[in-house]
């Protein structure tokens, strides 16, 4: 039985991935097909944001628009899943046939999910030099500036801000800014 189980990617309307997961799980339970669909997974990553001087943990979808599903796929199950609200279909070949993920891809994705779950407080916000940002915390709250330097080790940015018409360099951490 477990030989037939393979991982597939279900394409969902972006932003509706959690609903699609709920719909799939509810429909599988209703039809008592749990033995054919052991797992439905949305790879999420944790990130932190400053709001009113407080650090808030949030989650975002690591692969927007996609839901991973471990399933012993047959034509009937494929049709059931495709007919659910907010489901676009399966990721597949040009003929429209669902194609399972290779085991190496599954291991990489599931490994990344486990790594992100264990990461905890790691803040990984990809900024780049020349990017416009807005200061969200500290005495320069509300000012906008341009990133001049990035120190990945210390999670600090050197930002050039115009204060009273004069360019002023600020050293801010990732938690004090957001992308504009």
Q: What percentage of the chain reaches a pLDDT higher than 90?
A: 44
- Report the domain count for the chain: 2
Residue 170 in tokens = 């600020």
Whole-number average pLDDT of the chain: 85
127: left (phi over 0), alpha (psi -120 to 50) or beta: beta
For the segment 41-79, what is each residue's pLDDT rounded down to a tens digit? 998 877 776 666 677 777 888 889 999 999 999 989 999
Residue 65 in tokens = 């628009």
Residue 75 sits in the same domain as residue 140: no
Q: What is the pLDDT of residue 12?
A: 94
Residue 171 sits in the same domain as residue 105: no
Q: Is the pLDDT of residue 113 over 80?
A: no
Q: Which domain does 85 fall in, by range?
A: 6-119
Distance in angstroms (rounded) separating the CA atoms of residues 119 and 136: 24
Q: What percentage of the chain reaches a pLDDT higher than 70?
A: 88
Record the pTM.
0.63
């Amino acid at each position: 039985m477990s030989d037939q189980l393979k991982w597939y990617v279900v394409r969902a309307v972006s932003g509706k991935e959690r609903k699609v997961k709920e719909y799939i799980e509810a429909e599988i339970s209703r039809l008592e097909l749990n033995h054919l669909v052991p797992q439905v997974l949305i790879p999420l990553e944790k990130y932190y944001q400053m709001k009113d001087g407080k650090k808030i943990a949030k989650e975002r979808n690591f692969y927007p628009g996609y839901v991973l599903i471990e399933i012993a796929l047959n034509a009937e199950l494929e049709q059931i899943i495709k007919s659910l609200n907010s489901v676009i279909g399966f990721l597949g070949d040009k003929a429209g046939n669902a194609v399972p993920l290779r085991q190496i891809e599954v291991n990489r994705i599931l490994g990344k999910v486990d790594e992100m779950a264990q990461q905890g407080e790691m803040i990984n916000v990809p900024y780049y030099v020349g990017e416009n940002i807005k200061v969200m915390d500290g005495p320069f709250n509300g000012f906008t500036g341009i990133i001049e330097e990035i120190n990945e080790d210390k999670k600090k940015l050197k930002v050039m801000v115009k204060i009273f018409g004069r360019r002023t360099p600020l050293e801010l951490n990732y938690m004090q800014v957001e992308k504009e």
